[in-house]
Amino acid sequence: MKRETVARKPKATKLGYNERHAKSGITAPLPEIETFPNQYEGYEITIEIPEYTAICPKTNLPDFGTITLHYMPDKECLELKALKMYIHAYRNLGIFYENAVNRILQDIVKSCRPVWATVTGTFTARGGLSSKIEARYPQTRKA
């Protein structure tokens, strides 16, 4: 006897969030972050990007915030124009704050292989709440 496959509805929270919302944007294609050869060692770079915006995958409302990158380069440094184009690509992307910060860190590490890096997202208040998300590479690094 053959079993019938029943399509399951995605499990949702009481507020209607589901797995599709949670995974939104984390594998979307984004521009490559170019680099250039580092000429020195043992120094730190901090880049502040005050014009980050993306779309909430649940509400389709825009999210705004500041992304701060702090890293110690190894053999490569991030090229700023390419970084700007990468960050601007989030404008039309449905992605949660937490996923965006972790995705940005993941893409930076892949691009320039820093000694260490921290990405902090400070997001503007919505509904009386503001969020600050921080991701580190390697994960054991403490600020």
* 41 carries a ligand binding annotation: no
Q: From the CB of residue 86, how many other CB atoms can be counted at a distance below 10 Å?
A: 21
Residues 6+ apart with CB under 8 A from 7: none
**Model confidence, pTM:** 0.85
Calpha distance 73→41 (Å, rounded):
7
* 80 carries a ligand binding annotation: yes
Query: Which of these is catalytic: 63, 77, 107, 112?
Result: 63
Q: C-alpha 134: how far from its chain's center?
A: 10
Identity of the residue numbered 62? P
Query: Which of these is catalytic: 56, 74, 77, 107?
Result: 56
Calpha distance 38→36 (Å, rounded):
6
Which two three-digit tokens encode residue 64?
A: 């705004």
* 44 carries a ligand binding annotation: no
* Residue 56 among the catalytic residues: yes
* 52 carries a ligand binding annotation: no
* 79 carries a ligand binding annotation: yes
pLDDT digits (tens, 9 = 90+) for 124-140: 988 888 999 999 999 87
Reference 36, options 81, 69, 71, 70; nearest CA is: 81
Calpha distance 20→13 (Å, rounded):
12
pLDDT digits (tens, 9 = 90+) for 40-97: 999 999 999 999 999 988 889 899 999 999 999 999 999 999 999 999 999 999 999 9
Domains in the chain: ranges and CATH: 44-137 (3.30.1130.10)
* Residue 112 among the catalytic residues: no
The count of C-alpha atoms lying within 13 angstroms of the C-alpha of 62, restricted to the half-sphere facing its C-beta, is: 8
